[in-house]
A and B are shown apart, each in its own frame.
Chain A
Amino acid sequence: MYEILSVRELAPKIKLFEVHAPEIAEKARPGQFIMVIINEKGERVPLTIAEYDAGKGTIAFAFNEVGKTTKQLGTLKEGDRVWNITGPLGNPSEIRNFGRVLCVAGGVMIAPMLLQIKALHETGNTVVAVVGARIKELLFFKEEIKALSHKFYVATDDGSEGYKSLEFLKDVLAEEKFDRCVAMGPVPMLKTVSEFTKPFGIPTVVTLMPVMVDGMGMCGVCRVSVGGKMKFGCVDGPEFDGHLVDYEELIKRQRMFLPEERLSSLLWELGGCGCGRK
Chain B
Amino acid sequence: MAESKPKPKVRKQAVPIPKQPPEVRKHNFNEVALGYTEEQALEEANRCLQCPKPQCIRGCPVEIDISTFIRLLREGKYDEAIKKIKEKNSLPAICGRVCPQEEQCQKMCVLGKVGEPVSIGRLERFLADWERARGFTVPEKAPSTGKRVAIVGAGPAGLTAAADLAKLGHEVVIFEALHLAGGVLVYGIPEFRLPKSIVQAEVDYIKKLGVELKLGYLIGRTYTIPELLKKRGFDAVFIGTGAGLPQFLGIPGENLGGIYSANEFLIRVNLMKAYAFPEYDTPIRIGRHVAVIGGGNVAMDAARSALRLGAEQVCIVYRRSREEMPARKEEIENAEEEGIICKFLAAPTRFIGNEKGWVKQMECICMELGPPDESGRRRPVPVKGSEFLMDIDTAIIAIGRTPNPIIQSTTEGLAVTKWGTIVTDENGKTSLEGVYAGGDIVTGEATVISAMGAGKKAARAIHEYLMNKK
- Residue numbers of A with Cβ under 8 A of B are 23-24, 27, 35, 37, 41-44, 68-69, 83-89, 213-214, 216-221, 223-225, 230, 235, 249, 252-253, 255-257, 259-261, 263-264, 267, 274-278
Report, as a range, how many residues of chain B touch the other chain: 35 or more
B246 & A220 in contact (Cβ 8 Å cutoff): yes
Is B419 in contact with chain A by the CB < 8 A criterion?
Answer: no
A275 to B406, CA, bound (A): 36
Q: Which of B17-25, B280-288, B423-431, B456-464 contacts A (4 or more CB under 8 A)?
A: B280-288
Chain B residues positioned under 8 Å from A278 (CB to CB): 279
- Residue numbers of B with Cβ under 8 A of A are 177-179, 187, 215-218, 221-223, 244-246, 248, 250, 254-255, 257-258, 260-261, 263-264, 267-268, 272-273, 277-285, 356-357, 404-406
B267 & A253 in contact (Cβ 8 Å cutoff): no
21 contacts between A and B (CB under 8 A): A27-B221, A27-B223, A44-B179, A69-B281, A83-B179, A86-B216, A87-B221, A88-B222, A214-B267, A217-B244, A217-B406, A218-B187, A218-B245, A219-B263, A220-B246, A220-B248, A220-B264, A221-B260, A252-B357, A255-B257, A274-B279
Q: Contacts A221-B264, A252-B257 known; A275 to B357 CB distance under 8 Å?
A: no
B222 & A219 in contact (Cβ 8 Å cutoff): no
Closest Cβ of chain B to A148, distance in Å, is 28
Chain B residues positioned under 8 Å from A219 (CB to CB): 246, 261, 263-264, 267-268
A256 to B393, CA, bound (A): 13
A260 to B244, CA, bound (A): 27
Chain B residues positioned under 8 Å from A83 (CB to CB): 179
Chain B residue nearest in CB terms to A274: B278
Closest Cβ of chain B to A192, distance in Å, is 21
Chain A residue nearest in CB terms to B273: A41
Chain A residues positioned under 8 Å from B356 (CB to CB): 252
Chain B residue nearest in CB terms to A250: B255
Partner of B357, one of A68, A217, A253: A253
Closest Cβ of chain A to B59, distance in Å, is 32
Closest Cβ of chain B to A55, distance in Å, is 17
Q: Contacts A83-B179, A86-B177, A217-B404 known; A256 to B248 CB distance under 8 Å?
A: no
Q: Contacts A84-B215, A89-B221, A216-B406 known; A253 to B281 CB distance under 8 Å?
A: no
Chain B residues positioned under 8 Å from A43 (CB to CB): 272, 280-282
